[in-house]
């Protein structure tokens, strides 16, 4: 196997870098081309139709870079646009919902899973559908947490205000009796420390980034799309507009290194 074309990864902005980090850790020899739509972030409050249109545009831009697969590193896009992207593009398309749902099913012991995400993700019911398509005896309790993304983007990863918001958002899910919590937004892995602090150690956290990376690895093997083992995996990062302070927050928290960032305006 020696397919050195890049894996195309996209997100509404910078949060998808958590998926890139997981991909780099697992598939260090793969070239990755990341595109973040910083011109139009956030997608969480937008309608499914708008998110679908944006998703197709970003996927087209990555296909222009000869991507061998498209990784939707955004729960909001994955929850409303995956069938459309799969239909429109000939390369494999992988999102974060299905891998997260499968991991949650493996983790839960009492068959009661909690999901947190943006309003669009929770409204779509995508996690419930993915979970119940595999096992319809499992209960899913979900909650939109719209204030978590701005808190993360401000770099308040280790802060009393963020801890209090987490308690407020998670209390109803805990009272409902969940034993597993899916971090259904690509920003949220940056809050793993804070959420662990607030939750009892009995609750299992499912991180969409790591599970997505494992699904990508399996897909590359299945479809014989792996780069040569000796390939030095390059990471190329592009945004549709200037990156804000959150880029530094993410880069530091994830210890991710990449060269110069390309500004790739929307067509």
Whether 185 sits among the annotated catalytic residues: the reply is yes
Could you give the CA distance from residue 73 to residue 68 in angstroms, rounded to a whole number?
15
**Distance in Å, CB of 65 to ligand DGL, minimum:** 21
**Distance in Å, CB of 264 to ligand DGL, minimum:** 18
Q: Helices 75-88 and 126-134, interaxial angle, to 10°? A: 70
Residue 111 or 205 with smaller CB distance to ligand DGL: 205
Contact 137, 105 (CB under 8 A): no
**Distance in Å, CB of 58 to ligand DGL, minimum:** 12
Residue 7 or 225 with smaller CB distance to ligand DGL: 7
Residues with Cβ within 8 Å of 80's Cβ and at least 6 positions away in sequence, in order, are 48, 51, 52, 120, 124, 126
Catalytic pick among 62, 70, 185, 238:
185
Residue 19 or 113 with smaller CB distance to ligand DGL: 19
Residue 31 or 186 with smaller CB distance to ligand DGL: 186
Whether 145 sits among the annotated catalytic residues: the reply is no
Residues at the site binding ligand DGL, with contacts judged by CB under 6 A: 11-13, 15, 41-44, 74-76, 117-118, 121, 149, 185-187
**Distance in Å, CB of 95 to ligand DGL, minimum:** 10
Residue 3 or 44 with smaller CB distance to ligand DGL: 44
Contact 55, 79 (CB under 8 A): no
Write down the residue that tokens 């799309």 correspond to: 225
Catalytic pick among 74, 94, 120, 249:
74
Contact 43, 51 (CB under 8 A): yes
Q: Which of 124, 144, 133, 73 is nearest to 101 (CA)?
A: 133
Could you give the CA distance from residue 178 to residue 172 in angstroms, rounded to a whole number?
10
Burial class (CB in 10 A: 0-12, 13-18, 19+), 160: exposed
Q: Helices 75-88 and 48-63, interaxial angle, to 10°? A: 60
Nearest position to ligand DGL, beta carbon: 44
**Distance in Å, CB of 18 to ligand DGL, minimum:** 9
Q: Which residues are catalytic?
A: 74, 185
């Amino acid at each position: 196997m020696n397919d050195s074309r890049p894996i195309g990864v996209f997100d509404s902005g910078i949060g998808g870098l958590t998926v890139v980090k997981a991909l780099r850790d697992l598939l260090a020899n793969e070239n990755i081309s990341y595109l973040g739509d910083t011109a139009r972030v956030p997608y969480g409050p937008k309608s499914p139709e708008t998110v679908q249109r944006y998703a197709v545009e970003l996927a087209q831009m990555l296909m222009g870079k000869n991507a061998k697969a498209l990784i939707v590193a955004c729960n909001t896009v994955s929850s409303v646009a995956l069938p459309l992207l799969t239909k429109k593009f000939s390369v494999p398309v992988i999102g974060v919902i299905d891998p997260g749902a499968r991991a949650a099913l493996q983790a839960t012991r009492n068959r009661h899973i909690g999901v947190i995400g943006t309003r669009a993700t929770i409204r779509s019911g995508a996690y419930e559908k993915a979970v119940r398509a595999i096992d319809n005896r499992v209960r899913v309790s979900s909650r939109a947490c719209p204030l978590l993304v701005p808190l993360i983007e401000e770099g308040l990863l280790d802060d009393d205000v963020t801890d209090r918001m987490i308690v407020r958002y998670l209390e109803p899910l805990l009272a409902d009796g969940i034993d597993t919590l899916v971090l259904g937004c690509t920003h949220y892995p940056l809050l793993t420390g804070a959420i662990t602090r607030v939750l009892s150690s009995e609750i299992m956290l499912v991180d969409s980034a790591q599970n997505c990376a494992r699904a990508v690895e399996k897909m590359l093997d299945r479809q014989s799309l792996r780069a040569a083992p000796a390939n030095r995996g390059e990471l190329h990062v592009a945004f549709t507009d200037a990156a804000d302070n959150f880029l530094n927050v993410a880069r530091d928290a994830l210890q991710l290194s990449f060269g110069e960032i390309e500004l790739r305006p929307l067509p």
